Amino acid sequence: MFKSLIQKRLELYVKKYFAAHPDIKLVVVTGSVGKTSTKVAIATVLSERYKVRVHQGNHNSHLSAPLAILGIEYPSNLRSLRQWLSIFLQARERIKQPADVSVIVQELGSDRIGEVPHFGTYLRPDIAVVTAVSPEHMEFFRSVENVAMEELAVANFSKIALINRDDIDEIYAKYLTNPNINTYGTSSASEYHFNSQNYTAEDGHVGTFVAPEWQEPVATEIHVLGEHPMRPAIAAGAVAVKLGLSATEVASGLAKVRSLPGRMSVLRGVNDTVIIDDTYNSSPLAAESALRELYKLSVPQRIAVLGSMKELGVTSQIEHEVIGKLCDPNGLAWVITVGDEANNYLAPAARARGCQVKSFKNAIQAGAFVHSVLEEGAAILFKGSQGGIYLEEAVKVVLHSAADEAKLVRQSASWIAIKTKFFTENN
């Protein structure tokens, strides 16, 4: 009851805020994967012209999203009436004050059916970006069809929508009622896309960004590893064009986009190895994409460290087996799994394909094994989730420099305490 009352009050403040500042543009991002990367990429490019408010974390729930929109810090104690009263006071002051930003870029999350549509009861975004439709929180959604209806709902209560053509099957177009929809992606079939003309794992892509509003493509660079991580940047370019940025501004902004920690970030490992740090989270779509990029690297040895994918519900066994079958013995020297689901379902599927497989209970054990088998110049993919997997701790074991630990996810004092307790209990 207390939480519900707080939520309603925050939603009311957000509605009043936009009513008081009608010139502020609201861009929202939702989807099964890639929300935070896309949100930050959009903010990066828009900052070439506008003053942008964006929360760097994943504050995307019905309590945290309104606070992120208003630029108010999330309370340390959700049960503290004193903290909430202070927040309400800050919200009222924010409504009265002159606008301090031109654009707000906000991530919208959903753990179960109805959460994205509810955002539409108090938000009217100028632009909505839908990044992907793939299995997520399947213990609640039960089917990808339900996921599609949930995520695509944002397009119908927004003025304009941008849909990732690469990661959203066209069969779900039946759930779209908004006529003002465009597509973006890495293929030329998308209205907004990028033609990669030169690519290296170290420097990313050099090429041209294509927008239907422009007569000619604009030359630019996108400094990310592989194809899938380009899509947040392409979405950012599309949003920027919609909001009136020039070709020069878009090109400059795209060149500043970088991968976020734990999201296909490239790090230097021991023995001149390349680490692909994709440890923030894992899902079937993201794991498949990460493996595909690993296979493209021309190196003497490739190792895939794959943690259990969480929140897949009744589909967990099937989805882990699918990823296991994607493990190619001709492309991987080792498949290393961490966590019950990965060990029980992914590992046997990879082994059946002929892969050399080793399974571990926790990330630290896996990291030690990687260190023992890696060859000079190898490429190692670490792909995992947060709940009980924490593969960033395996990355630490093979980093070239301890100073790079600061580039990993979940390194705050509170997270270190949580993980220390976990590894102590699961040694």
Cβ neighbors of 150 (< 8 A, separation 6 or more) are 110, 113, 114, 115, 116, 117, 141
Taking the C-alpha atoms of residue 218 and residue 241, their distance in angstroms, rounded to an integer, is 12
Task: Report which of 182, 237, 232 is spatially closest to residue 209, judged by C-alpha positions.
Answer: 237
The model's pTM: 0.91
Angle between helix 284-296 and helix 316-325 axes, rounded to 10 deg: 10
The answer to whether 170 and 163 are in contact (CB under 8 A) is: no
Tokens of residue 42, six digits: 């959009």
Strand-pair category, 334-338 with 302-307: parallel
The answer to whether 323 and 308 are in contact (CB under 8 A) is: no
Distances from the Cα of 32 to the Cα of 137, 192, 365, 419, angstroms: 9, 20, 30, 26
Residues forming beta bridges with residue 379, ordered by sequence position: 274, 302
Phi, psi of 246 (to 5 degrees): -75, 165
DSSP string of 329-345, one letter each residue: TTT-SEEEEESHHIIII
Taking the C-alpha atoms of residue 328 and residue 361, their distance in angstroms, rounded to an integer, is 23
Q: Alpha-carbon dihedral of residues 147, 148, 149, 155, nearest 10 degrees? A: 130
Phi-psi domain of 127 (left: phi exceeds 0; alpha: psi -120 through 50; beta: other): beta
Decide yes or no: CATH 3.30.530.20 for domain 265-425. no
Each domain of the chain, given as residue ranges in start order, spans 7-254, 265-425
Task: Report which of 386, 408, 387 is spatially closest to residue 397, judged by C-alpha positions.
Answer: 408
Task: Report which of 425, 392, 133, 163 is spatially closest to residue 277, judged by C-alpha positions.
Answer: 392
Task: Report which of 200, 198, 196, 199 is spatially closest to residue 209, judged by C-alpha positions.
Answer: 196
Fold held by 7-254? UDP-N-acetylmuramoyl-L-alanine:D-glutamate ligase (3.40.1190)
Taking the C-alpha atoms of residue 140 and residue 124, their distance in angstroms, rounded to an integer, is 26
User: Can you give the pLDDT of all 427 residues of the chain as single tens digits?
Assistant: 678 899 999 999 999 999 999 999 999 999 999 999 999 999 999 999 999 999 988 888 888 999 999 999 999 888 888 999 999 999 999 999 999 999 999 999 998 899 999 999 999 999 999 999 988 888 888 899 999 999 999 999 999 999 999 999 999 999 999 999 999 999 999 999 999 999 988 889 999 999 999 999 999 999 999 889 999 999 999 999 999 999 999 999 999 999 999 999 999 999 999 999 999 999 999 999 999 999 999 999 999 999 999 888 889 999 999 999 999 999 999 999 999 999 999 999 999 999 999 999 999 999 999 999 999 999 999 999 888 899 999 999 999 999 999 999 999 999 999 999 988 888 7
Amino acid at 416: I
